[in-house]
Amino acid sequence: MTRQQLVEQIFLKQSYLCVGLDTDQAIIPKQLLSEADPVFSFNKAIIDATKDLCVGYKINTAFYEASGAKGWEAMEKTVHYIGSEHFKIADAKRGDIGNTSHQYAKAFFESMPFDAVTVAPYMGEDSIRPFLEYAGKWAIVLGLTSNRGAHDFELQQAGGGLLYEKVLQTVSGWGSPENLMFVVGATQPQEFANIRKIAPGHFYLVPGVGAQGGSLKEISGKAMTRDCGILVNVSRAVIYASGAGDFADAARKISMEYHEEMKMYLP
């Protein structure tokens, strides 16, 4: 999906919501466990309930890889089921030497129809370059994350500024706003004005709204651009809105609340 196509979907649906499919078989409703593929059955129901209210889905691969081949199969079925009208993110946080990253890119962009992969920049340009070589595909680089551990490295002084600032400044030159996004956590709202100065034209994938307590209003006010420029990911608050048989209806209700709020903030 190109940037133009993504922006068109955002304004068509009046939404910049991305639903995180961090599906844990130990948490999903018990009645699904009798299904041949409980995880896919859960995901399918969530997608059917939310697809008109969101523009993307983020699949955290760890929740699928943990179950081995069966989990990987559920992930493949899920990404194919989502279809082409939604932005599909493999939240895999890959990043290795060039020839290894090339194989990771091939796995998510050729073997599976993901539009984007989250990547870690620690090993430098050659670890990210392979993800930028596919037309219509995106690398989503970890910039300033929403976890407490962000203070261990990302928010430390390095070379006259904060380390995350150096990452954004450097990585911005490796790609363009057409194929490069940054992960910026909603729990770091005080940094958004500064981040927009460093990477003014890039989209941001913003986790941390919902269960982690980030404010949609605050983030939208500080990070929104003329063509939106942000994808707000909500995982647990949507998919686990109910642990009973009405889980899909509950997911839709919460997604609709985010959708209605987002309509107020879009330019």
For residue 23, being part of any structural domain is answered with no
Residue 68, SS3 per DSSP: helix
For residue 203, being part of any structural domain is answered with yes
CA dihedral 151, 153, 155, 161 (to 10 degrees): 160
The pLDDT tens digits for 172-211 are 999 999 999 999 998 778 888 899 999 999 999 999 886 6
Given a contact cutoff of 8 angstroms between Cβ atoms, the answer to whether 222 and 192 are in contact is yes
For residue 138, being part of any structural domain is answered with yes
For residue 245, being part of any structural domain is answered with no
Residue 188, SS3 per DSSP: coil
For residue 253, being part of any structural domain is answered with no
- DSSP string of 200-234, one letter each residue: TTSEEEE--BSTT-B-HHHHHHHH-BTTB-EEEEE
Provide the domain count of the chain. 1
Catalytic (active site) residue 93: yes
What residues make up the domain containing 110? 3-15+55-232
For residue 242, being part of any structural domain is answered with no
Q: Output the pLDDT for position 102.
A: 97
pTM for this structure? 0.96
For residue 71, the domain's CATH number is 3.20.20.70
Catalytic residue among 44, 77, 93, 253: 93
The pLDDT tens digits for 47-88 are 999 999 999 999 999 999 999 999 999 999 999 999 999 999
pLDDT band at 260 (very low <50, low <70, confident <90, very high): very high
- For residue 38, what are its two tokens? 């409980």
